[in-house]
Amino acid sequence: MHTSLDQFNLIKDKVNDIVNKKQLKIVPKIIVVTKTFPLSEIMPLLKNGHVHYGENKVQEAEDKWTETKNHFKNLQLHMIGKLQTNKAKKAVKLFDYIHSLDNAKLALKLFQYQKELSKKIKLFIQVNLAAEKNKSGVMLNELNHFYNYCAKELSLNVIGLMCLPPVDSNSQEYFKLLKKTAQGFNLKELSMGMSADFEKAILYGSTYLRLGTLILGKRNLI
C-alpha cells in the first residue's frame, strides 16, 4: 500500500519526466488538494518538506491549518474553491494564494481586508472559458475590464489565471486558450491541471497543478 509520500514522489517524478522529455522551461509546482483529508494523512508530506496545499472551503481550512501553519513556517496555503465575500476576511488571514477571484465585489473585499490586515495575497483570476452557466469565473469578453479593475484600480497582486475545463471536454484546448489569454495580459502564472488532465496541462505551460486524489487516494465524503 502506497503512502501519500510515495504517491507524491511518483507524481513528482512523472512531472519532471514530462518536463525533461519535452524540454519545457517550466516545472510546475504541485498543490496537494487536501479537502476532506485529515492532517494525519497529510503529515508525511509536511514532514518531508512539501509546502503547497489547497483547500476548497474556508471553514475546513481554518480548522485544519490555523495551528499547523504555526509549526510549518514555509507552508503555502491555496484557496482553490469558490470564495464567498462573507468569508473573505478569514481567507485573507489564512491563505497565501487565492485561485478563484471572479467578481468585483470579492475583489473590493480582498482589497479592504488585505489593507486592514497588512497582508498581500497572490491572486489568480478564475476564467470561465466555456461560458458555462453553472460554473464560476469571469467570461472572456469581460476579462479585460475585470483585470484592469483588480490590478490597476485596486492594485491587487494578480499573478495569473485559473481555469476548470468542462467535464468530459478536450481540456487541452482550454489550456491552450488560457495560456494565450494570460500572455495577452503578460501574466506568467497558470493554475490549471487536475488529477485527470495534469499531463496535458504541463504541456501547455501550467505553473500550478491542483492534485488531490491522485496523491492522497479516495476522498472522504463530508
Q: What is the CATH number of domain 4-216?
A: 3.20.20.10
Report the sign of the C-alpha dihedral through residues 72, 74, 78, 83, in that order. positive
Q: Using CA atoms, how far apart are residues 206 and 193, in angstroms rounded to an integer?
A: 7
62's enclosing H/E stretch is helix 58-71
Low-confidence ranges of the chain (pLDDT < 50): 1
Beta-bridge partner residues of 128: 139
Beta-bridge partner residues of 214: none
Longest Cα–Cα distance in the chain: 52
CB 160 within 8 A of CB 187: yes
Beta-bridge partner residues of 189: 160
What's the predicted TM-score (pTM) here?
Answer: 0.96
pLDDT at 20: 97
pLDDT at 203: 97
Which tens digit of pLDDT belongs to each residue from 103-123? Answer: 999 999 999 999 999 999 999
pLDDT at 1: 43
Which tens digit of pLDDT belongs to each residue from 87-107? Answer: 999 999 999 999 999 999 999
